[in-house]
Every structure is written in structure tokens, then in C-alpha cells.
């Protein structure tokens, strides 16, 4: 770098990983920013020594303070470990913005400057999302999926079935029901009384948390806050179990947020998806459609047998959500 970056004393960055080989690229992108956060806390549950070798290379800028904490895997648990650390350390008392970045994200050079500017511009803003290079276009929603309550014409909407449409940033700040967890920031005061739900085994901890704090203020996405999401293929298998878990997660949303998510709508969406995935398999002979159909069927069988459906565990269930 030609000159040292400014240190944004208000921002603490937390990244959680079980894929240690990805972290170094994230840290390099952060170190190249015009302004860098006060501290980067890496919550490392990687099962391999890859991250240790990466750490020893010491290629991250001297201007970037990085703290690594080893812990057991589980994304909500890891996020909470990072929050507790920031709140407990006196030297980070001045940090009033806590940012979470996935380990397979790369940030734009002006990311942290724009982050602070966004929070300064809206005093009621409590949760802020970034624009991903892959997710800032709202595609037309097929009628069949709208009937199934799986999709909507409205971006950034949490549907009564528990499905959520990706938010789209227009110009400046755009209000949204939720923002993806791959790059989300909060005012630190949120964590004085709230933590992520560590009972969530797989995907969805970001959506559940944002629904829980929605009464505190505005959730929005900024068109000026940009990241590149590399979407690592690591830990992305188990289609059948993943869909069974996803159905159970949305069922739990209906239990915990009955004014927002309805159990009848959740069942309606699952029934439609079971039918659509079955027909897609018959037409295209793609086994992933069959696995998805079986996942929905597994959930329904467990539900009707009176078995646990809201905390299903799947293989690699502690993978960070992307």
C-alpha cells in the first residue's frame, strides 16, 4: 500500500469460519481498504491446521489489528463469541458498529467509509446490509412460485411461508425486512440485550435475529456498500437433509413469529415444493430435484409423527451461511 489506511475506531469486524483457507483473502481485502476497522476478530472453528499455516505467513497489513479466537463450530455460537469479546474489552468501548462478514467475502476499498456514512445518515438505522455482486437484481418471480408462497414481486420481503426474497438496493439506503448475513452490520447497542440464537443448526440465524430486533429500528441495504461474494463450494452438500432442515427452520419461525409467519403458509409452500421438485425430477432426471423432494417429504413425515422438526441436525450443519 502506498500509505497507511485510516483506522475507523467506531467499527469492529467479526468473521466466523470453519473454512480456514478462505480467511486470509478476506483479511487482505480488508487491509487494502482506504479505512480499516478498529479490530478484526476471527472466530475460528476450522477443523484443519490450514488457518494456522496461513496465520504464520503474516502477510496481512501491520495497520490491521487481528485477534483470533478458537472455539467449537456453530455459526450463531461463533457470532456470539465475537460479540462477547468486543463488549468485554475496554479498548473497544468506542466501537459502536459491529460488522459481520462471511469468510468468502471480499470488500470494496471504500467499504468502511461508506458503512460509517450510512449509519451517520440515518439515526434509526440498527441493521445494515451490503450489495453483493451476485444478488442485487430482483428477477421476475414465476406465477407458480408466487402461488406457492415461495417468492414475491417485492424484494427484501419476508413471506408468510417463512421464505424471504433477496433485497435490492436502489439509491442510497433502501428499507428492507431483512438483509443477508454474508455482510451485515449492527449498532452495538443491539447486543446489550440480544444475541444470535445458538439453537439454530444451519441456515437462517441472520433472518431470525433480524426479525427479533425489528422493533428497535430500521433495517436497510445500501447501494454504496459493496462486496464480492465468492460463494465457496466447500461444505455445500446434503441437499435432502438441508431442505428438511430448512422446512423445520421456517416452521420454527411460524412458532416464534406468528404475526409474521403462518404455519398454514409454511405447509402450503412445502406441499407445493414437494410437487414441483417431483415433477422437475421426472422431466429433467436431475437427482438434486429428487433429493429436494425427499427432504420436504422427510420433514412432513417427522411433523405428522410428532417428532422434533425445528432443530434438525444435518451433516456439516455448522457451515457458515452464505
Give the H or E element holding residue 174.
strand 173-175
pLDDT over 70 for what percent of the chain? 87
Res. 137 pLDDT band, cuts 50 70 90: low
| Range with the poorest average pLDDT among 18-22, 25-29, 55-59, 170-174 | 55-59
**What is the pLDDT at residue 20?**
76
Q: For residues 139 and 284, which has the higher predicted lDDT (pLDDT)?
A: 284
Whether the CB-CB separation of 97 and 12 falls below 8 Å is answered with: yes
CATH 3.40.50.300 fits 6-140+152-229, yes or no: no
Q: Where do we find the cell 452490520?
A: 185
User: Is the per-residue pLDDT at 69 higher than 50?
Assistant: yes
What CA–CA distance (Å, rounded) separates 65 from 61? 9
Strand partners, 164: 158
CA distances from 180 to 45, 164, 201, 238, 275 (A): 22, 10, 17, 22, 28
Cell numbers given for 101: 462478514
Residues 289, 264, 149, 174: is their CA dihedral positive or negative?
negative
Cell numbers given for 196: 444470535
Give per-residue pLDDT as tens, 194-226: 999 998 877 899 999 999 999 999 999 999 999
| Range with the poorest average pLDDT among 55-64, 73-82, 92-101, 231-240 | 55-64
**What is the pLDDT at residue 236?**
55
**What is the pLDDT at residue 141?**
83
pLDDT over 90 for what percent of the chain? 75
User: Is the per-residue pLDDT at 28 higher than 80?
Assistant: yes
Res. 46 pLDDT band, cuts 50 70 90: confident
Cell numbers given for 276: 414441483
User: Is the per-residue pLDDT at 34 higher than 50?
Assistant: yes
Res. 274 pLDDT band, cuts 50 70 90: very high
Q: How do the domains of the chain map onto residue ranges?
A: 6-140+152-229, 239-304
Q: What is the mean pLDDT of residues 31-39?
A: 95
Whether the CB-CB separation of 118 and 173 falls below 8 Å is answered with: yes
Backbone angles phi, psi at 226, to 5 degrees: -120, 140
Nearest to residue 212, comparing CAs of 245, 257, 174, 180? Answer: 257
Long-range contacts of 252-255 (CB under 8 A, 24+ apart): 252/208, 252/310, 252/311, 253/162, 253/204, 253/207, 253/208, 253/211, 254/162, 255/310
Whether the CB-CB separation of 242 and 315 falls below 8 Å is answered with: no
Cell numbers given for 292: 429436494
Reported pTM: 0.90
Whether the CB-CB separation of 45 and 129 falls below 8 Å is answered with: no
Amino acid at each position: 500500500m502506498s500509505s497507511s489506511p485510516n483506522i475507523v475506531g467506531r467499527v469492529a469486524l467479526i468473521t466466523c469460519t470453519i473454512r480456514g483457507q478462505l480467511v486470509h483473502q478476506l483479511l487482505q481485502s480488508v487491509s487494502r481498504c482506504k479505512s480499516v476497522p478498529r479490530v478484526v476478530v476471527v472466530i475460528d472453528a476450522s477443523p484443519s491446521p490450514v488457518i494456522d499455516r496461513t496465520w504464520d505467513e503474516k502477510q496481512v497489513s501491520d495497520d490491521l489489528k487481528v485477534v483470533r479466537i478458537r472455539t467449537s463450530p456453530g455459526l450463531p455460537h461463533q457470532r456470539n463469541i465475537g460479540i462477547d469479546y468486543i463488549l468485554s474489552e475496554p479498548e473497544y468501548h468506542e466501537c459502536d458498529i459491529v460488522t459481520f462478514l462471511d469468510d468468502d467475502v471480499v470488500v470494496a476499498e471504500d467499504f468502511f467509509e461508506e458503512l460509517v456514512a450510512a449509519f451517520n445518515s440515518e439515526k434509526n438505522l440498527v441493521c445494515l446490509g451490503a450489495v453483493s455482486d451476485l444478488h442485487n437484481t430482483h428477477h421476475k418471480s414465476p406465477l407458480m412460485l408466487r402461488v406457492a408462497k415461495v417468492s414475491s414481486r417485492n424484494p427484501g420481503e419476508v413471506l408468510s411461508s417463512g421464505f424471504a426474497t433477496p433485497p435490492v438496493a436502489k439509491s442510497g439506503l433502501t428499507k428492507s425486512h431483512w438483509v443477508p448475513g454474508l455482510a451485515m452490520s449492527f449498532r452495538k447497542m443491539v447486543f446489550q440485550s440480544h444475541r444470535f440464537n445458538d439453537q439454530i443448526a444451519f441456515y437462517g440465524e441472520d433472518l431470525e435475529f433480524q426479525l427479533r430486533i425489528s422493533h428497535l429500528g430500521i433495517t436497510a441495504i445500501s447501494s454504496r456498500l459493496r462486496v464480492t461474494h465468492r460463494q465457496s463450494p466447500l461444505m455445500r452438500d446434503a441437499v435432502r437433509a438441508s431442505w428438511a432442515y430448512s422446512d423445520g427452520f421456517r416452521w420454527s419461525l411460524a412458532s416464534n413469529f406468528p404475526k409474521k409467519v403462518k404455519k398454514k403458509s409454511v405447509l402450503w409452500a412445502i406441499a407445493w415444493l414437494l410437487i414441483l421438485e417431483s415433477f422437475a425430477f421426472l422431466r429433467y432426471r436431475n437427482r438434486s430435484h429428487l433429493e429436494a423432494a425427499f427432504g420436504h417429504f422427510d420433514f412432513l413425515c417427522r411433523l405428522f409423527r410428532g417428532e422434533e422438526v425445528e432443530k434438525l441436525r444435518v451433516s456439516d450443519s455448522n457451515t457458515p451461511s452464505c
